């Protein structure tokens, strides 16, 4: 694979939508070491219902793992802002929907920009208690790669076509850690409506660690809720119960939009 070349099927995407005046836009943000592809089915679902949809590609993703080594978390947030500015050209109100790290970025972005609402899926509130996370920069010199854990996918066909990196670059984990800290400090500044969608079978964002509950408790939003699904792993936008995720996302947006109608 040539350096910097996007993996086939992992490209960013845009669907113009069909609502009168194109009032509503949806900005979709993928997860750490993932690709826009993991948000594409959700994007197609929302576009079929008339919304303009943009799925961004975060810096260092969907090419080769080494590209993550020169990226900082601020670059990812800038990618979200770039998408926001582009989508603003065809949308009056923009909703952000992010998976995993994409959820962190969406919540952090919402603390700084006037978003219409946020859907954060499979999103961490805190990292596991692991001494290595405090020394990632040093550890990366002797262990540049960290293996991923066992798969929690339920839809094997979807898992086979999924695009992500086969391991975590250790140096990049430091950026994920710092982004998470920045998100936690910003949650109280988020006042837009927020929907969290989590799976009870997620082996990364484990329900017993109460990530969703802690995010909800810290948010400054008055309109905030969580939807729990079962029968899917971490990548709930592509796994077995993805249709339930799509429906919950659409119903959240539709409810807010209906409340705005005179």
Domain spans of the chain, in order of start? 13-260
Q: How many CA atoms lie within 13 A of 212 on its CB side?
A: 23
Task: Report the alpha-carbon distance of residue 246 to residue 150 in Å, rounded.
Answer: 26
Q: pLDDT value at position 1?
A: 42
Nearest to 32 by CA among 9, 61, 71, 74: 61
Q: Which two tokens stand for residue 184?
A: 């936690």
Helices (H), 56-169: 73-88, 101-110, 136-142, 156-161
What are the pLDDT tens digits along the chain (262 aa)? 445 599 999 999 999 987 655 689 999 999 999 999 999 999 999 999 999 999 999 999 999 999 999 999 999 999 999 999 999 998 999 999 999 999 999 999 999 999 999 999 999 999 876 555 565 666 666 677 888 888 999 999 999 999 999 999 988 998 999 999 999 999 999 999 999 999 999 999 999 999 999 999 999 999 999 999 999 999 999 999 999 999 999 999 999 999 887 6
Characterize the bridge pairing of strands 24-29 and 52-56.
parallel
Task: Report the alpha-carbon distance of residue 43 to residue 251 in Å, rounded.
Answer: 14
Handedness of CA 204, 194, 113, 36 (dihedral sign): positive
φ, ψ (nearest 5 deg) of residue 152: -115, 20
Sheet holding 194-199, edge to edge: 13-15, 52-56, 24-29, 93-99, 117-121, 194-199, 224-229
Q: pLDDT value at position 149?
A: 85
Task: Report the alpha-carbon distance of residue 167 to residue 145 in Å, rounded.
Answer: 6
Q: pLDDT value at position 147?
A: 85
Cβ distance 218 to 170 under 8 Å? Answer: no
List the beta bridge partners of residue 229: 199
Could you name the CATH architecture of 13-260?
3-Layer(aba) Sandwich (3.40)
Q: pLDDT value at position 22?
A: 64
Task: Report the alpha-carbon distance of residue 237 to residue 86 in Å, rounded.
Answer: 23
Q: Is the pTM of this model over 0.85?
A: yes
Q: pLDDT value at position 205?
A: 95
Task: Report the alpha-carbon distance of residue 33 to residue 176 in Å, rounded.
Answer: 10
CA distances from 230 to 154, 201, 236, 240, 247 (A): 10, 6, 10, 9, 15
Rg (C-alpha) for the chain, rounded Å, is: 17
């Amino acid at each position: 694979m040539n350096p910097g070349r996007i993996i086939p099927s992992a490209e960013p995407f845009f669907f113009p939508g069909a609502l009168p005046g194109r009032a509503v836009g949806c900005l979709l943000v993928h997860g750490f070491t993932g690709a826009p592809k993991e948000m594409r089915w959700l994007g197609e679902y929302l576009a079929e219902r008339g919304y303009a949809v943009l799925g961004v590609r975060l810096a260092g993703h969907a090419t080769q793992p080494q590209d993550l080594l020169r990226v900082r978390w601020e670059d990812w947030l800038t990618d979200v802002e770039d998408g926001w500015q582009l989508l603003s050209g065809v949308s009056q109100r923009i909703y952000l929907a992010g998976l995993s790290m994409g959820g962190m970025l969406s919540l952090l972005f919402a603390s700084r920009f006037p978003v219409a609402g946020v859907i954060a899926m499979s999103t961490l509130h805190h990292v596991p208690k692991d001494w290595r996370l405090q020394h990632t920069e040093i550890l990366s010199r002797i262990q540049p790669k960290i293996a991923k854990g066992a798969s929690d996918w339920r839809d094997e066909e979807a898992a086979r076509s999924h695009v992500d990196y086969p391991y975590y670059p250790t140096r990049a984990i430091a950026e994920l850690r710092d982004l998470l800290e920045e998100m936690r400090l910003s949650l109280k500044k988020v006042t837009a409506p927020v929907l969290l969608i989590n799976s009870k079978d997620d082996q990364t964002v484990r329900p017993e660690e109460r990530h969703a509950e802690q995010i909800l408790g810290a948010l400054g939003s008055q309109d905030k809720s969580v939807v729990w699904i079962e029968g899917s792993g971490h990548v709930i936008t592509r796994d077995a119960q993805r249709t339930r995720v799509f429906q919950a996302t659409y119903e959240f947006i539709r409810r807010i939009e209906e409340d705005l109608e005179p």
